[in-house]
Amino acid sequence: MGRGAYALARVAVMVRTAGRWCWWLGALAALAGAFVPGLTGRRIGALGGAALFLLAAVAAFLARRRRYAALAQAATHAAKSAFLQDRRVTARLWLRPRRWWLLLAFVLAVGSSAAASAAGGMLLAGVGAGLWAKAVWLGRWERSHEALLWTCPEEALRRGPAGGDVRAYLTTGPAAGDARPGGARRVVSPAR
């Protein structure tokens, strides 16, 4: 990272945001597709969808996992001049360039119900479940190392937090920022 102040975004928040959007859009598409008999019928569509859900979840969980692990192991401590993005800002910045892709995935998932009811939605939901599991895995790493993983948001914008543009992860203490290990919102207990 260069000298002076720079922004950092939580790796787990980006992964968790992707998982949440894919999960909910997939669940909605599967629900809509459940009312369409499709060419294969509802039962076969649901069974095929369940298989696709499992395959997509495993694939999403395993995708780039070695890269995440390598970047995490090589991470260095962030400088005091680093500006830590709020989780809402990170989620919004992740979503903005991808909203049309998500909409297209949703439309295709609903449209695929004409062939196999609910299968397309379950596939998309499976991707979401796999990404959520990956965020949980990152959270376990962060807890065991007592450090939170961050990266430069500009580098992660195009291809994600483990893409080729990401050069390094940086770490902070576990209390930094407004998200817990794994990217979930940190609940602040009210002062008494």
| Digitized pLDDT (tens) for each residue of the chain, 192 residues in all | 545 688 999 999 999 999 999 999 999 999 998 888 878 878 888 899 999 999 999 999 999 999 999 999 999 999 988 999 999 999 999 999 999 999 999 999 999 988 888 899 999 999 999 999 999 999 999 999 999 999 999 999 888 999 999 999 999 999 998 999 999 988 765 555
Round to whole Å and give the CA distance between 134 and 93.
20
- 180: tokens are 């817990």
Round to whole Å and give the CA distance between 187 and 184.
9
pTM over 0.85: yes
